Structure 1
Amino acid sequence: MQTQASDWIWLKTHTEGQFFERKSCFNRSNGQKKLRKARDVARDVAETLSAMANADGGILALGIEDDGTVTGFHYPEKRWNVILEAPRRLVSPPLKASYRWVELDGKQVLVFEVDWSADVHQLSDGRYLMRIGDKNMPFPASDIAAIKAGKRKRITESRLIPDATLQDLDPQLLEALRKKFGFTGPAEELLDRFRLIERRNGRIVLSLAAILLFARDPLQWHPKCMIDFVKWQGAARRFGAELNVIKRERIEGPLPVLIQEAFNALQPHIRERQRLVDLYFEERFEYPTFAWQEAIINAVAHRDYALEGTPIEIWLFDDRMEIRSPGQLVEPVTLDHLRRGEQIHASRNPRIVRVLTEWGFMRELGEGITRMHEAMLREGLKPPEFRLEAGSILTVILYNTPIYPPETTRWLQQFEKYDLSPNQKRLLAYAYAHEGSFTSRAYQKLVGVDIYTASRDIKDLVRKGIVRLTKPRGRVYEVITEETTVTIEKPPELKALEPILKQKGYIKNSDIRETLNLSVSQARRLAQRLVNLGFLTPKGEKKGRKYVPGPRFIDPS
Structure 2
Amino acid sequence: MDIEDIIQQGETKYVEFKSWIKVNKKELMNILTSEAVGFANTDGGIILVGVEDNGEITGCENYDEQNIIESIYDKTIPKLFTDIDIIKIANKDIIKITIQKSPEIVASSKGVVYKRLGKNTKPLYPSEYTSNSIKGFKGDYSAKIIERTTKDDIDFTEVERLKLKIQSRDKDSTLYQSDNLTFLKDLRLIDVDGDEIQLTVAGLLFVGTKDSIAKYMPQSEIIILIYNEGQTEYHKRLELKVPLVQAVDRIQQFFEDRNGIQNIQMGLFKLEIQDYPINVFQEALLNAISHRDYESATSIFC
User: Whose radius of gyration is greater, 1 or 2?
Assistant: 1
State the TM-score, normalized to the length of structure 2. Answer: 0.50
State the TM-score, normalized to the length of structure 1. Answer: 0.28
